[in-house]
Amino acid sequence: MSISSRFSVAIHILALLEINKEGVCTSEYLAGSINTNPVVVRKIVGMLKKANLVEVRPGIAGTELVKELSEVTLFDVYKAVNVVNEKELFSIHDNPNPECPVGRNIQDTIEPFFIAAQVAMEEVLKSHTLKNIVQDIVTKEEMY
Amino acid sequence: MSISSRFSVAIHILALLEINKEGVCTSEYLAGSINTNPVVVRKIVGMLKKANLVEVRPGIAGTELVKELSEVTLFDVYKAVNVVNEKELFSIHDNPNPECPVGRNIQDTIEPFFIAAQVAMEEVLKSHTLKNIVQDIVTKEEMY
DNA sequence: TTACATGTAACTATCATAGTTACAATTGTA
DNA sequence: TACAATTGTAACTATGATAGTTACATGTAA
């Protein structure tokens, strides 16, 4: 199991929009940096658009950032690309046997523990912004 | 995306082994409580055995606990059933373009953030034992 | 009108999951 | 020793998500 790379691709896109904000970022250009297909990019950009993180318009070349990256957390991106649903990071087997004391209570018993673990992970994502990401990229670049 | 229900099934099995420690827990009995196939149970029990959480022997009916449940954390079970690999909760797209400043740094930049989020989730799993689970089940039972 | 982008449907290949059948290997007991 | 019951495992199926791809309708600017 692994959370979809849509998340890392979306971060890549947003970081590139910032770093290349002077240029025109078409889906083909973005796909070239990510090394994937322009359609994959358009699908993810579409999700970022729905989340009001970018602006794109049919027929007009280029995607642009809507917000300052210091105002966008990794959690915002994570929700935008819909990689994990609320309370559903862990799946619980359904239809355990209600005739059994364990079977009839296991779901309600386990759920809060799983949710707590998911929330802890998501809190970390909330604690970092895309500005942090871009800064780290710039710092790594300057080391050469 | 969702983490395999092998994890919740494994917790179910271990809790049931504790609650029914007087009885003989065959794969068929366990499967009856979980409401699945005995082979599915045997596969998961095999993983728990490798992790030294249970004892089972070919030909001999019944699986038994090896440890006190107060000494087994949810993290131990999570690792035993191999639902998420180390550092791989989030996947990162491979082969980004090295000609691009974002492409050549994105992987190394993102990874520590992803690992931090995964570790936070796993820390929560480490903070709870199977004894907590069994206690919660017993408490819920007593409410009737 | 042309050229170029975006948006999206439809399809493919690949993989993990969960379940299932079948059967060999192991053990206790009549 | 033979038998019945159980575990261990290989092999297979169905399902669903992912990532990629082709094709094309739609929209915009020059």
Share above pLDDT 70 across residues of chain A, in percent, rounded to a whole number: 100
Look at residue A84 in the predicted model and tell me its pLDDT: 96
Q: Are B66 and B54 in contact (CB under 8 A)?
A: yes
What is the model's pLDDT at position A60? 96
In this prediction, residues B49-72 reach a mean pLDDT of 96
Which chain B residue shows the shortest CA-CA distance from A8? Answer: B92
Give the pLDDT confidence score for residue B74 in this predicted structure.
98
Give residues with Cβ within 8 angstroms of A54, minimum separation 6: A13, A14, A17, A45, A48, A63, A64, A65, A66
Q: Residue B64: its pLDDT value, please?
A: 96
Contact B55, B25 (CB under 8 A): no
pLDDT at A90: 98
Q: Which pLDDT belongs to residue A1?
A: 79
Is 80 exceeded by the pLDDT of residue B144?
no
How far is Cα A137 from Cα B102, in angstroms, rounded to an integer?
7
Residue B37 has a pLDDT of: 96
Amino acid A59 CA to nucleotide D24 C1' distance, rounded Å:
14
Task: Report the alpha-carbon distance of residue A50 to residue A44 in Å, rounded.
Answer: 10
User: For position A61, what pLDDT does the model report?
Assistant: 93
Residue range A89-110: average pLDDT? Answer: 96
Query: Residue A31 contacts by C-beta under 8 Å, 6 or more apart in sequence?
Result: A37, A38, A40, A41
| CB contact (8 A) between residue A128 and residue B105 | no
Q: Which residue of B has its CA nearest to A136?
A: B109
Q: What does the pLDDT average to over A107-117?
A: 98
- pLDDT at position A144 is 72
Report residue B73 as tokens: 């954390």
pLDDT averaged over every residue in chain B: 97
Of A92, A100, A120, the CB nearest to B124: A120
Q: How many residues does chain A have?
A: 144
Distances (CA, A) of A79 to A11, A22, A88, B127: 12, 27, 13, 27
Inter-chain touch B120–A118, beta carbons under 8 Å: no
Is the CB of A39 less than 7 A from some atom of nucleic acid strand D?
A: yes
pLDDT in tens, A27-81: 999 999 999 999 999 999 999 999 999 999 999 999 999 999 999 999 999 999 9
pLDDT digits (tens, 9 = 90+) for B81-125: 999 999 999 999 999 999 999 999 999 999 999 999 999 999 999
Domains along chain A with CATH numbers: 6-139 (1.10.10.10)
